[in-house]
Amino acid sequence: MPVRSVVVFCGSRPGRDPRWMQAAADLGRGLAEARIRLVYGGGKIGLMGAVADAALAHGGEVLGVIPEFLTTIEVAHGGLTALVVTGSMHARKQRMFDESDAFVTLPGGLGTLDETVEVITWAQLGLHRHPVLICNVAGWADGLLAAFGRTVMDGFSAESTRGLYEVVPDVAGVIGRLTALSVQPRVGGARL
Ligand code: AMP
């Protein structure tokens, strides 16, 4: 099955390097042009807002999933194709997982890292086989990738965990992989 719906994890802030906001806009546009639905955290600020705005501007379908308590803090996006408001962060993560064929991580902060590590550890536990693509724009993920490698070096993770995610250098690489990938149908059932 081709990839039809992608969860994007990314920062709720713009970050210091303008290439990061640009990457978010490029990804939103690329997903829309590839007719792949964007599923994301529902905010209209930072990279989150940029990816959603660009997808919408190019005719894409965008589903936001935001917990009720963040609807004001993250300034929920009012113009999405659909916005689901959940009762908790855990319900948000579950819903995003249930809607996904693949995961993409763009630059971001602790929330982005948390979400990325979580889907990789779910893969490690055999709860899903969705692709996880880390888009290492301008080296923002170097520290994270070094930490992952360190857990292997120290004997805390199997060598095979390196195969649970793919690192791509730019948005063109992400779109190239998403359009080439064949994925399992979503099965659901995995629970936090
Ligand atoms: P950040 O990368 O910190 O800007 O956060 C990006 C996204 O992750 C936002 O949608 C946040 O709501 C979410 N987020 C922030 N903190 C957490 C957390 N502790 N657990 C899960 N998601 C989070």
Question: For residue range 14-69, what is the model confidence (pLDDT) as tens digits?
Answer: 999 999 999 999 999 999 999 999 999 999 999 999 999 999 999 999 999 999 99
Tell me the residue range of the domain where 119 lies: 5-180
Look at ligand 1, atom 10, and give the residue with the nearest C-alpha: 41
Separation CA 96–CA 66 (nearest Å): 10
In a domain, residue 172? The reply is yes
Q: How many whole angstroms from 41 Cα to the centroid of ligand 1?
A: 8
The pLDDT, as a whole number, for residue 79 is 94
Number of domains the chain contains:
1
Closest CA to 125 of 71, 89, 87, 161: 161
Q: Say if 100 falls within a structural domain.
A: yes
User: Is residue 152, in this structure, part of any structural domain at all?
Assistant: yes
Complete DSSP assignment for 137-192: GGGTTHHHHHHHHHHHHTTSS-GGGGGG-EEESSHHHHHHHHHH-B-PPP------
pLDDT of residue 188: 57
Which of 13, 68, 93, 115 gets mutated to test ligand 1 (max ligand atoms within 8 A of its CB)? 115
CATH number at residue 67: 3.40.50.450
How many CB atoms neighbour CB 189 within 10 A?
Answer: 8
Answer yes or no: is 69 within a domain. Answer: yes
Give a yes or no: residue 187 inside a domain.
Answer: no
Q: Tell me the pTM.
A: 0.95
Q: Is residue 186 part of a domain?
A: no
Burial class (CB in 10 A: 0-12, 13-18, 19+), 71: middle
Is the beta carbon of 89 within 6 A of some atom in ligand 1? yes
pLDDT digits (tens, 9 = 90+) for 152-192: 999 999 999 999 999 999 999 999 999 999 987 766 555 54
Residue 185 forms part of a structural domain: no
Determine the pLDDT at residue 46: 98
Could you tell me if 124 and 161 are in contact, meaning their C-beta atoms sit under 8 angstroms apart? yes
